[in-house]
Chains A and B, each alone.
Chain A
Amino acid sequence: DAGVIQSPRHEVTEMGQEVTLRCKPISGHNSLFWYRQTMMRGLELLIYFNNNVPIDDSGMPEDRFSAKMPNASFSTLKIQPSEPRDSAVYFCATEGPDREGSRNTIYFGEGSWLTVV
Chain B
Amino acid sequence: AQKITQTQPGMFVQEKEAVTLDCTYDTSDQSYGLFWYKQPSSGEMIFLIYQGSYDEQNATEGRYSLNFQKARKSANLVISASQLGDSAMYFCAMRERSGGYNKLIFGAGTRLAVHP
A50 at the interface (CB under 8 A from B): yes
Q: Known contacts A31-B102, A45-B104; is A89 also within 8 Å of B109 by CB?
A: no
Q: A42 vs B105: C-alpha distance in the bound complex, in angstroms?
A: 11
Q: How many B residues face the partner with a CB closer than 8 A?
A: 21
Q: What is the distance, in angstroms, from B104's C-beta to the closest C-beta of chain A?
A: 6
Q: A93 vs B47: C-alpha distance in the bound complex, in angstroms?
A: 11
* Contact indicator B45/A111 (Cβ below 8 Å): yes
B25 at the interface (CB under 8 A from A): no
Q: Known contacts A45-B105, A56-B101, A95-B102; is A107 also within 8 Å of B47 by CB?
A: yes
Q: Known contacts A108-B37, A113-B43; is A48 also within 8 Å of B103 by CB?
A: yes
Q: A11 vs B95: C-alpha distance in the bound complex, in angstroms?
A: 30
Q: What is the distance, in angstroms, from B45's C-beta to the closest C-beta of chain A?
A: 4
Q: Which residues of B contact A105 (CB under 8 A)?
A: 35, 47, 50
Q: A6 vs B37: C-alpha distance in the bound complex, in angstroms?
A: 18
- The contact string, 1 if C-beta is below 8 Å from chain B, for chain A 92-117, is 01010010000111111111010000
Closest residue on chain A to residue B44 by CB atoms = A110
Within 8 A of A (CB), among B72-116: 91, 95, 98-99, 101-106, 108-109
A12 at the interface (CB under 8 A from B): no
Q: Which residues of A contact B105 (CB under 8 A)?
A: 45
Q: Which residues of B contact A98 (CB under 8 A)?
A: 50
Q: Known contacts A56-B98, A91-B45, A111-B43; is A103 also within 8 Å of B50 by CB?
A: yes
* Contact indicator B45/A56 (Cβ below 8 Å): no
Q: What is the distance, in angstroms, from B102's C-beta to the closest C-beta of chain A?
A: 6
Which of B37, B45, B99, B102 has the most C-beta atoms of chain A within 10 angstroms of its own C-beta? B45
Contact pick for B44, options A43, A45, A95, A111, CB 8 Å = A111
- The contact string, 1 if C-beta is below 8 Å from chain B, for chain A 30-73, is 01010000000011010010100001100000000000000000
Q: What is the distance, in angstroms, from B48's C-beta to the closest C-beta of chain A?
A: 10
A to B CB contacts below 8 Å, 7 in the list: A45-B105, A48-B101, A48-B103, A93-B104, A98-B50, A105-B47, A106-B47
Kindly list 7 other residue pairs between chains A and B, CB separation below 8 angstroms, not including A42-B108, A105-B35.
A31-B101, A89-B43, A91-B45, A93-B104, A103-B50, A107-B47, A111-B43
